[in-house]
Structure 1
């Protein structure tokens, strides 16, 4: 079958505590990212889209074959308002927001001029897409899951800059308000979307906006988040969105929203990268649609349908060979080591069960 595509990863996030990540030397972060990328490729992911943290250097090193890993699309730093999902300062922290030279996942910008400058800067640094924090999140210390972030005018300004550079915008958004604001602004994909309702699903479907559910990360965070650096306050947010995320799959399906696979896993929890596939099926999405979400739909979202996402003459031969038919059950991916035979990237075997070549 075609090589797998993960539309939401954080390859530099070696810890679930993003404040720690921002204080860590970039050389260490890069070394950890190299390990993570190699493991992703071995799991069958031949292309990944980073949602904050990866940069031109990592993508170039992969392209040059300096180390093994999937094809990497990157946004640089995600754009966040002050006090938003990309602002990792605690309530009592009076320091200025970190600038974009640190190893963190986000950068803070406010108002038309700042958001345009931040978007243009990430584009200058080679970003293949732009990430915006359009609502609250689990791993940020001062916002709420129910928050909307950035005004519609700020979001439109960011989309305008991305469109001018012929790249797309992905938006972190949980609530219907945050989703609808993002769609109105012209983003191409909604990330997470756990609190999606009928109204926001219809708005997405009409606009042709993709949904990238990330079910695997909430299940993993519930199991191991605190061990991997998530604070008690952040851990409490997980259960607000875990069950809702499963319900959102059915709502999206019933309203014709096109879905693409995302994992969004951090640190050692990336070992669960494939688990979201069976979770999507368990949430009511037929196996064929789960497979499309991680292959052809994902390729379309990335604008790479002429190159990847299916096995056809003229494409670049990203493939995996597995022992069982995933159309019968996607649960085979939960036992990857038992079921995979080979991972092929651009026509070359990069891993197989016998040699791990």
Structure 2
């Protein structure tokens, strides 16, 4: 079993804005053993003198798509599984190097990729996944163009026909239940459903509410029975309201939210994971990617409301997580999400979103997103004070001399001193 001791640390614990100075943090195996204001005595353990640098929980990105290998999602399946996997390897390695020690894949991530990460075959963060997204015919997970004919249910639960590497088509209560149960059979940690129109899907306008009440409630009930939860892709106020009222625990994006809907989300104790990075990236790169004119129009529709949506959520006191949703070559903009949020939120609010609140959303509070005894040793060291300059976390890991995931030393640019 491995041991480490961090000395002379300035600790941000994931919650408190006042950081304790001169702290020692001992790691045993994959867990934090002790956090003390006195030097921890641990014989023969390698020690790292942080000299006042900030030690904090590893970052959590709650909205990624590891297999989404192109900005144009209609091209992803044509690239083949080996290509999608190669993209995932590159993307996940980059995330880890930027300090993201945990990610949640909310569309496409699977048991095989999680196992490869767990067995150390590829480098990457701790990996939660929801399997394929549940989408209705013609919904945001149905990437068939309008001229394509075919029965989306003929090959249910496989990657052929209208089902694809990121989503599965299900209509009606029985098909929704079967789809959810199949994702859980494949090890999904949670379930995502498409509940409103989306930006990059070809046949659903943004304003279109997806699924009937009975279908959404069936998905939610199955998740609750599994001691898990459902989260829903929603842009519009009507889609958000319906989902929250029908028991959905989380909302992805929430871009077009209004004050009344935000107040409802807060009152219900639900949460939202905004994804500013993808909005910004598509606005910058959509034309170069030769996305169709109708998709470019939808990009602009959500772009003009994205920042005001954050302000509405903040005013209402909505619980917010940190997500990016980046696809294809724009995955490198992941850390830029910190800069996109600082126009609305304080550094402390953003840090909580990316640590302790993220852990709560994952149902891992006390184990992730914190610096406390018995939590997982997912830790990063910041060369500076992120509570004053959140941009330190937006430098693609350049300001992170130490990265640790599950007690494994991913990066150590400071070096050790004798125990």
Q: TM-score range by the shorter chain?
A: over 0.9
Residue 339 of structure 1 aligns to a residue in which SS? Answer: coil
Q: CA deviation at 1:354?
A: 8.0
1:275 Cα deviation (Å)? 1.0
For residues 267 and 224 of structure 1, the distance between their equivalents in structure 2, rounded to whole angstroms, comes to 11
Other-structure match for 1:34: 89
Shift in Å, 1:198? 1.0
Mapping for residues 50-65 of structure 1, pairs under 5 Å: 50-65=105-120
Within the alignment, does 1:186 sit opposite 2:241 as a pair?
no
Q: Match for residue 281 of structure 1?
A: 342
The offset of 1:86, in angstroms, is: 0.2
Decide whether aligned partners of structure 1 residues 354 and 35 sit closer, same or farther in structure 2, where only a CA change above 3 A counts. farther
Counterpart in the other structure of 1:335: 395
Q: Deviations over 1:69-124 (max 9, x none)?
A: 00111111100111000000111111333754335211111111111111111111
Give the Cα separation in 2 of the matches to 1:212 and 1:277.
13
SS in 1 for 2:191: strand
Change (3 A) 1:336 1:22: closer
Structure holding more helix per residue: 1
1:257 aligns with 318
Measured at CA, do residues 59 and 337 of structure 1 come closer, stay the same or move farther in structure 2, by a change above 3 Å? closer
More strand by share: 2
In structure 2, distance between residues paired with 1:149 and 1:327: 40
Q: How many Å apart are 1:36 and its aligned residue?
A: 1.2
Q: How many Å separate the matches in 1 of 2:290 and 2:414? A: 36
Question: C-alpha deviations, 1:37-88, integer Å up to 9, x for none?
Answer: 1111111111101110110110111111111100111111100111000000
**1:133 alignment partner in structure 2:** 194
Q: Hey, what does 2:138 align to over in structure 1?
A: 83
Count of residues in correspondence between the two structures: 354
Change beyond 3 A, Cα 1:352–1:145? farther
**1:92 aligned counterpart, secondary structure:** coil
Secondary structure of residue in 2 paired with 1:47: strand
Aligned to 2:204: 143
CA spacing shift, 1:29–1:338, aligned 2, 3 Å: closer
Structure 1 vs Structure 2 CA RMSD = 1.6
Would the aligned equivalents of 1:307 and 1:316 in 2 still touch at CA under 8 Å? yes
Give matches, 1:1-357, under 5 Å: 1-97=56-152, 99-102=156-159, 104-228=165-289, 230-282=291-343, 284-353=344-413
Q: Distance in 2 between matches of 1:177 and 1:326?
A: 37
**Relative contact order: is structure 1 or structure 2 higher (C-alpha 8 Å, sep ≥ 6)?**
2
Q: Which 5+ residue runs of structure 1 have no aligned equivalent? A: none
Give the secondary-structure state (helix, strand or coil) at the position aligned to 1:137: coil
